[in-house]
Amino acid sequence: QVQLVESGGGLVQAGGSLRLSCAASERTLSNYAMGWLRQAPGLDREFVAAISKFGSSTLYADSVKGRFTISRDNAKNTLYLQMNSLKPEDTAVYFCALALRGTIITHPSNFDYWGQGTQVTVSP
């Protein structure tokens, strides 16, 4: 059983930055692709960014491309999401997720393990 714990969320003004972290219990994290997804009130969970098992490939939703950067440190069993130039529409609960495969996936239903989420609120 893989446990994922997110941290780093909070309240920030528009244009500001936050860095989310996701600590994983899995000791062989480098075997698996991972991603960040988010869910705003009243909306479905949506893909934000994903990274392949060794970090050689990344993929971003159009809405965050150029502003967010996903990265991973497999030695520390940690996934990151650097979020810059934040906008009010980025406000959501952000989830870290792991897929039991090495290549990138984007659909929420294809991820196998999820963290509990961390709230990000961007004020105008």
Chain segment 21-75, per-residue pLDDT in tens? 999 987 677 889 999 999 999 999 999 999 999 999 999 999 999 999 999 999 9
pLDDT score recorded for residue 25: 87
Residue 110: Cβ within 10 Å count: 14
Task: Answer positive or negative: Cα dihedral of 123, 12, 117, 62.
Answer: positive
Please provide the average confidence, as pLDDT, over all residues in the chain.
94
**Predicted confidence band at 1 (pLDDT cuts at 50, 70, 90)?**
confident
Asked if the model's pLDDT at residue 119 lies above 80, the reply is yes
Q: Rounded to whole angstroms, how far apart are CA atoms 77 and 72?
A: 8
